[in-house]
A and B are shown apart, each in its own frame.
Chain A
Amino acid sequence: MKTLSQSDAPIFEALKNHRLNRIVPFDVPGHKGGRGNRELSDFLGLNCLKADVNSMKPLDNLTHPVSVIKDAQSLAAEAFGANDSFFIVNGTTAAVQAMIMSVCKAGEKIIMPRNVHRSAINALVVCGAIPVYINPGVNKSLGIPLGMTVGDVERAVEENPGAKAILVNNPTYYGICSDLKQIVALAHERNILVLVDEAHGTHFYFGENMPVSAMKAGADMAAVSMHKTGGSLTQSSILLCQKSVNANYVRQVINLTQTTSSSYLLLASLDIARKNLSLNGKEMFEKTVQFASYARGEINKLGGYYAFASELTDGAAVFDFDPTKLSVNTTEIGLAGIEVYNILRDDYGIQIEFGDIGNILAIISAGDRSLEIERLISALSEIKRLYSKDKAGMFDHEYISPVVALAPQAAFYSARKTVPLRQSIGRISGEFVMCYPPGIPILAPGEMITEDILNYILYAKEKGCLLTGPQDLNLENIDVAEDK
């Protein structure tokens, strides 16, 4: 058998062979290579439908990989500098949950910054682990949560002996990194595992002059959203593990909740994206950084906007900054980020990643072209010219420290009562409330609803943020944990 290299893509090759072999399908999916759903195959293309097949001997099986998927995962592990890798088809949400559920059981403690993605707190609802939140630093003028300082992590570790793991965002949605190497060092001294949410960090493994990646920093596990900046299809992701965790157990945990009908479109896209990143990643991210820094320079020239970058680094709560991120603060022109986000889409036909209270974020990649970058910059100059107003009355902070009254699982499964949102101050939330994107909970189950939080939710609603989480889609009401 030949030795595989990063130029190979075993799943992709197997799918091509499978097509050439003209196997007669008497298995699912029932569209049978698209013949059974003409409109769908016209829309997506016959090639796509023909690659949408089920697990079978020559194509391996994601729940129990022994051949091409095993090989593809080994190549991915090698590419990312991990001991093992798992292809995930239920989104990075599934990767984050598998990571947490692999190391924490009910009642065990996990240390994490409060500005995690909802998937991390979801995992706590499911498995019953107890969060110990570290307040991230906050940049008051930008209104964004930052990273965790080493000192804060150290304190949390000292105060919570027996904590099983620390979860770190690398980077945050805004591109901010904590001092991962130091956090790993202090955690490992105390036999605590380090789990890293690298939903926005795929490029750290392949680009030059990037913040350190989780595997390189010595972290034990990392959830990497290949689909975000790595070029694979939406919903595909990779979970990375080092020797310190039992990979066979991790696979069992993944299989608790992951589909048994894994999509070969997603698997092949992971395989091909990994190959592409290994072979061309350096150039791709060099181009990305060039686009992003050009755009930052031009946007800052417009005045009023502040496209921030590595000048924020302070060796503590902003240990490093992701140079591919194009985050722009909009408060000086008197517009909320979400308002700029909406104008960009509705009036200028430009869809960006998200807008929150004070900032917008545009994702830049090697797939961009100069002409689109110019459009974004010019549209921002127009929005400033046409819509800017006095910034009085702008909400001036983004992050509110939560008061955790109950563990997420206890609150979510408690007897709940629906109350009007405006009359919920002082109650304990039974549900999540978050702006999506970015999907960082404003309230998580078990947290006290304070006046600050209520005001924040009402302001976000008024500005047009999409608020998700509660049973009541209009968020007029909220479920609270019933008083005992």
Chain B
Amino acid sequence: MELWYTENHTKNVKFSIKVDKQLISVKSEFQRIDVFDSVEFGRILTLDGYLMLTEKDEFVYHEMITHVPMAVKTNAKKVLVIGAGDGGTVRELTRYTTIEKIDVAEIDEAVVEICKEYLPQTASKLDDNRVHLFFEDGLKFVRSKKDEYDIIIVDSTDPFGPGEGLFTREFYGNCYNALKEDGVLVNQHESPYYTEDAKAMKRAHKQIFSVFPVCRVYQAHIPTYPSGHWLFGFASKCLDPVTGLNGDKWNALGTKTKYYNTDLHIGAFALPTYVKELLHDAE
């Protein structure tokens, strides 16, 4: 018997991972949640059939979405994470003793429950006493905040489904309002490669660009995401992610990472020509 998990990366491209067994399948109020064990990638979390993370390569995503803003805004004390029910982003943030408060707005409590049970690798720090979980719509949560956060990390699903509202101009505008004067917004920025993903990426960029004066994009290689080439957005009211990098300060912390380092930090903002062109079109 062979069991395979397959995600359609496009209508014409499939990505499959051989599954050892399915551990759980739940239909929550918002989405279908599945956890699989695989030989190659370890445990896998999927939402509505889309791969969210694997134990083998989640470090790339979670390190890049947290350490990049933290190496710029090294004095961050108050961080808001939107989405991120798997806990991976929170795990990385809790490594900074200087952070005093981490608010998490995750719409689906079931994701957190399941990850706590099946994915301790990412969910282990969700119980840290600095972490405050709010099970509500991220768009609604951020709307009522003003001048409150040093960093907002948007660790969302794709812009089709429950995460749709997190790719909109109103959301980015509400984030702008919720950030302090030198605050930073980092978001999961989709992929530039396949046509449909690239469209979503351009739309997101266009909206962020219309809201924030500083609006940069960086990349990482995430093997299990469509095309493997993934982007993140870095937006702020004044801080530049490259010239504003506090490399020495960050290195002095001695945080041990597998993917991120301060050389890569600068390099990650150097984008392929076609990606630059896509972004330029969106602006």
Q: Is the CB of A378 within 8 A of B139?
A: yes
The prevalent SS among residues of A at the interface is helix
Q: Is the CB of B137 within 8 A of A382?
A: no
Q: How far is the CA of A382 from the CA of B174 in the complex (A)?
A: 7
How many chain A residues touch B (Cβ–Cβ < 8 Å)?
17
Closest to B142 in A: A378
Q: Is the CB of A375 within 8 A of B139?
A: yes
Q: Is the CB of A382 within 8 A of B162?
A: no
* A-binding segment of B4-12, B165-173, B223-231: B165-173
Chain B residues whose CB sits within 8 angstroms of the CB of A371 once the complex forms:
137, 139, 162, 164-165
Q: How far is the CA of A276 from the CA of B146 in the complex (A)?
A: 44
Closest to B164 in A: A371
Question: Which A363-410 residues have a C-beta within 8 angstroms of B?
Answer: 370-372, 374-375, 377-379, 381-382, 385-386
Chain A residues at the B interface, C-beta cutoff of 8 Å: 298, 301, 347-349, 370-372, 374-375, 377-379, 381-382, 385-386
Closest to B144 in A: A301
B249 adjacent to chain A (CB < 8 Å): no
Interface centre among B139, B143, B170 (most CB of A within 10 A): B170
Q: How far is the CB of B174 from chain A (nearest CB, A)?
A: 5
Closest to A347 in B: B169
Q: How far is the CA of A375 from the CA of B177 in the complex (A)?
A: 16
Q: How far is the CA of A348 from the CA of B206 in the complex (A)?
A: 12
Q: Is the CB of B165 within 8 A of A382?
A: no
Given contacts A378-B171, A378-B174, 11 further A-B contacts (CB under 8 A): A347-B169, A348-B168, A371-B139, A371-B165, A375-B139, A378-B165, A378-B170, A378-B173, A379-B169, A381-B143, A381-B174
Chain B residues at the A interface, C-beta cutoff of 8 Å: 137, 139-140, 143-144, 162, 164-165, 168-171, 173-174, 177, 210
Q: Is the CB of A374 within 8 A of B174?
A: no
Q: Is the CB of A375 within 8 A of B143?
A: no
Q: Is the CB of B169 within 8 A of A374?
A: no
Chain B residues whose CB sits within 8 angstroms of the CB of A382 once the complex forms:
169-170, 173-174
Q: How far is the CA of A307 from the CA of B210 in the complex (A)?
A: 28
Q: Is the CB of B140 within 8 A of A374?
A: yes
- In the complex where A371-B137, A385-B173 touch, is A377 in contact with B168 (Cβ < 8 A)? no
Chain B residues whose CB sits within 8 angstroms of the CB of A378 once the complex forms:
139-140, 143, 165, 168, 170-171, 173-174
Chain A residues whose CB sits within 8 angstroms of the CB of B170 once the complex forms:
348, 375, 378-379, 381-382
26 intermolecular pairs with C-beta atoms under 8 Å apart: A301-B144, A347-B169, A347-B210, A348-B170, A370-B137, A371-B137, A371-B162, A371-B164, A372-B165, A374-B137, A374-B139, A374-B140, A374-B143, A374-B165, A375-B139, A375-B165, A375-B171, A378-B139, A378-B170, A378-B171, A381-B143, A381-B170, A381-B174, A382-B170, A382-B173, A382-B174
Chain B residues whose CB sits within 8 angstroms of the CB of A370 once the complex forms:
137
Chain A residues whose CB sits within 8 angstroms of the CB of B164 once the complex forms:
371
Q: How far is the CA of A301 from the CA of B143 in the complex (A)?
A: 11
